[in-house]
Amino acid sequence: MSHRIGFTGDVMLGRLVDERHRRRSPEAVWGTMLDRLRACDGLFVNLECCLSSRGEPWRRTYRPFHFRANPKWAIPALESAGVDACALANNHVFDFETVGLTDTLDELDAAEIARSGAGRTLEEALEPAHVTVGDRTIGFVSLTDNVPEYAADESSPGTAYVDIDVEDARTRTTVRETLDRARSKSPDLLIVSLHWGPNMVERPPESFGRFGRWLVDQGVDVVYGHSAHVFHGIEVYEGRPILYDTGDFVDDYAVDDDLRNDRSFLFELSVGDGGRPSELRLQPVEIFDVAVHEASTDAAAWCRARMRARSEEFGTSFERDGEALVLPLTE
């Protein structure tokens, strides 16, 4: 039996998104994408904010932006879309200091939404999540190379921070140990979320390519990247998709007229018998009115053209199905 697993770009529910949607029904943030999100058998997002009404903005080092959403509407919003797991290893989950971070952990736990990538200690931050989707178990690991001052340690809260460098022995050891813990429950599918690299760039550095392929060599089935606010090309390595960057899905950010950080996709992975990825479907989306929507005809054409161009260097080509791009996955 095939299952469809959805992945989104950054979900930032703070600032104007928070202000606007406190006065709306929680599901309004998903715009015209709500039914499609609900139709996924499993849904994974990068939660680019903390969920709290408490805490003071991080001032220990300079941080220009601080993102926080009130959990009274944000948790029902995540539940309304059927979000199964949140990646928390990113550069905003600690924006409102320890209380904001721990509130986020507690709110997600109370809602029974799985999470990985941040914790009260390094051990908790590195702990993989395990999600049941139908008759399948999915292991979910979340790591970041953003904001080293947010990194957890043995006795302090923070994120699961690593240097993205396959030549770094410490990184290799940390990642291998984390993947071993993820495999302890014999998941049918193993996903690694990576919040990596700088903002507003159109392609990943070669070091990310080496790291992504190394992860697949370690047994990872899906590399799920984000951070740039701009979607990147997709590589298929050994039949496994490397999503170098999934762009943005919900936010209130200023829009670059060329890079169009308000446009991306819902990435839908079909997983067949034995837990093997068989197809990746890319449904174009765009952000407006601080909500995500199915892309207009012109925006969808722009998304398809940019994705095709950005994926050429990886030898990746797509089929077309309506407004969507379709990528068969074969070794």
Residue-by-residue pLDDT tens, the chain, 331 positions: 789 999 999 999 999 999 999 999 999 999 999 999 999 999 999 999 999 999 999 999 999 999 999 999 999 999 999 999 999 999 999 999 999 999 999 999 999 999 999 999 999 999 999 999 988 999 999 999 999 999 999 999 999 999 999 999 999 999 999 999 999 999 999 999 999 999 999 999 999 999 999 999 999 999 999 999 999 999 999 999 999 999 999 999 999 999 999 999 999 999 987 778 999 999 999 999 999 999 999 999 999 999 999 999 999 999 999 999 999 997 5
User: What does the chain come to in residues?
Assistant: 331
- What distance in Å separates the CA atoms of residue 56 and residue 59, rounded to the nearest whole number? 8
Give residue 329's identity as a one-letter amino acid code. Answer: L
* Amino acid 68: pLDDT: 98
- Measured between alpha carbons, how far is 54 from 35 in angstroms, rounded to an integer? 32
Q: 3-state DSSP: the chain helix, strand, coil percent, rounded to 5?
A: 30, 30, 40
User: What tokens does 153 get?
Assistant: 């340690």
- Distance of alpha carbon 95 from alpha carbon 225, whole angstroms: 21
Contact 116, 127 (CB under 8 A): yes
Q: 3-328 in CATH: which number?
A: 3.60.21.10
Q: Which residue has the tokens 């702990």?
A: 127
- Phi/psi class of residue 316: alpha, beta or left (left: φ > 0; alpha: ψ in -120 to 50)? beta
